[in-house]
Structure 1
Amino acid sequence: MSNTGVVFPTIDLGEVSDEILNQKLREAGERLGCFRVINHGVSLSLMSEMKKTVMDLFERPYEVKVRNTDVLPGSGYRFRPSETNPNYEALGLLDLASPQALNTFGDQLDASAEQRFLSFFSCLVSKWYGTLIYVLIIFREIMLKYAEAIHGLAKDLSRRLAESYGLADTTNFFKSWPIQFSINKYHFKPETVGKVGVQAHTDFGFLTILQDDENVGGFEAMDPSSGTFFPLSPLTNSLAINLGDMATIWSNGRLGSVKHRVRCEAKTRFSIVSFLLGPVDTDLEAPSEFVDDEHPRLYKPISNKGIRSLRVTTNLIDGEALKHISYE
């Protein structure tokens, strides 16, 4: 069931008051587990360049795309036809913040060498005709700029959420967490338009930054108070933020892990998704500031690898896996 009475909260990160901004982020995180941000520091030109790059990558031959292998399950190339989504594809890498991972991603897809040639060729054509033409920026440069901007935004949002609860010295706490990166292409069949193409689920990480298709809708989030879904309408130069299972564990249940899904649309839809996961080698648990006599600890400590494995073994992807690590 869909509900048009609830809308994605839109939060202006250019708010002059840190206290007011942090409170808005916290309220949206507790009430819905999701919100949309504007004035987020990722330039519109960079977002547009990234979208063009994504569309180009999906045009590469299948034998090139399959070189994008998994580091962890779901982190590489995926082609998973289904009844509603017969042409779904995804490419990805494990850590957007790692220059080495970005280089490997480019090497796998032959992106950098080809883009360098096109960039050089375009410059020659420009000089020959004496006109200004579009010059392709090399793949690695676009990815590095995008990675830096998204990593900075993820750290800033996490820090602000922590500060809204009175936690201090959190900058380094989130700094080392990997950011799994996924680009998706949805192309639904005409007869399935309006149906659910991607089933409702939560994300297992801490928070997700979604650059949705500015021309095609379909993304919906669930209002936890009513169980109904509401749409994320396309809005240029905005980014959607979803909180995941790790945020619920870290906040001792205060922040929601939003259930969301994708409804079939008539046009091809692209999405660019960055998942701030959680600690790699250590377990995550709620800081002591979240725990007292009135708020006993809800969840057992667990790592990013542990929550991912738990969701797979229980086949619970909608937040219900958290019951398996609950103290209650």
Structure 2
Amino acid sequence: MEETIPVIDLENLSDQSECKKLRDACEKWGCFRLINHSIPLTLMAEMKMVIEALLDLPVEIKKNNKDVIARSGYKAPSDVNPLYEALGLYDLGSSQAMQDFCSKLNVTPYQRQIMESYGKAIHDLAVKIGEKMAESLGIFGVDFEDWPCQFRINKYNFTPEAVGSLGVQLHTDSGFLTILQDDENVGGLEIMNSSGSFVSVPPFHGSFLANLGDIAKVWSNGRFCNVKHRVQCKEATTRFSIATFMLGPRKGNVEAPIEVVDHDRPRLYQPFVYEDYRKLKASNDMHVGEALELLRLV
């Protein structure tokens, strides 16, 4: 029987069994599908049309989308990922950042309206999921509102010659939580399970995919799994996705709360600033969470 990733019903998260299901998904998989998330399907569809239009802009215009931090702006196809390109917005919650992004890409007033509505809805969803993840560990009152969310819209230019090759190499996300609106028509996303086998994540209309990153593993003191994932080219077509990355605390250190540290489970990682970790991962060319080993205490 083929494995499938867990599905979490947001409308039922007040139920104890659904909350336990969420914790199990975080610990064993590091990812889960979100249904009944309350973001309108019409807004999701409109947002997809907006990102397709932006990613179809001439390269000269897309290059105006500059990095704020590394890899936060336009990413052109490269030798490592020749089929992939992306546009990015570093701080989704900043009206100034949104204005800069829109003005440099000649975004229309209608497109900006859709982006702002979607951005607020997806940020609120990420905060809610973060709170529920914390509560599943017995941690209450964490303020995820101020954790910056990076926004990235992705395009995979899959050609007949590329079928069977990688769209994006195997990696873990650096941040705490990623909310992904995947392409509802074109598959290719695969996650690695605990035994090291790849599990296909097929399209699922109207849902979001939540992926836990390296910061979730540190913050949970090793309880949560930072999921390894990749994108495979399965067919010769164009594939789009919309990713929102909740990164880490805007101020202060990334560190496990005292509720998950005790005599039997001492603190596993030294406290650090998120941006320092991201730079450490990039400078060592580490893609699948190996950089966390450089910060281990035990």
Quickly name the TM-score band, shorter chain normalised. over 0.9
1:1-328 superposed matches below 5 A:
5-15=2-12, 17-82=14-79, 86-112=82-108, 116=109, 138-170=110-142, 172=143, 174-224=144-194, 226-265=195-234, 266-328=236-298
SS in 2 for 1:175: coil
Across the aligned residues of Structure 1 and Structure 2, the Cα RMSD in angstroms comes to 1.4
TM-score, length of structure 1 as denominator length? 0.87
Identity %, equivalent residues: 49
Instruction: Determine if contact 2:63/2:74 at 8 Å carries over to the other structure.
Output: yes
How far apart, CA to CA, are the structure 1 residues paired with 2:58 and 2:284?
Answer: 36
Q: Give the 4+ runs in structure 1 shifted more than 4 A.
A: none
Q: Any idea what the Cα deviations from partners look like across 1:129-183, whole Å, max 9, x if unmatched?
A: xxxxxxxxx012101110111011001000011111111212x2x1101000000
The runs of 5 or more residues in structure 1 that have no matched partner are 117-137
Q: Any idea what the Cα deviations from partners look like across 1:269-325, whole Å, max 9, x if unmatched?
A: 001000000013311100111111110110001121011011012211101111000
SS in 2 for 1:23: helix
TM-score, length of structure 2 as denominator length? 0.96
How far apart, CA to CA, are the structure 2 residues paired with 1:156 and 1:104?
Answer: 27
SS in 2 for 1:79: coil
Give the AA of the match of 1:203. D
How far apart, CA to CA, are the structure 2 residues paired with 1:44 and 1:212?
Answer: 13
- Paired residues, number: 297
Instruction: Determine if contact 2:83/2:167 at 8 Å carries over to the other structure.
Output: no
The runs of 5 or more residues in structure 2 that have no matched partner are none
Instruction: Determine if contact 2:167/2:232 at 8 Å carries over to the other structure.
Output: yes
Higher Cα radius of gyration: 1
Give the AA of the match of 1:214. E
Instruction: Determine if contact 2:93/2:123 at 8 Å carries over to the other structure.
Output: yes
How far apart, CA to CA, are the structure 1 residues paired with 2:140 and 2:29?
Answer: 25
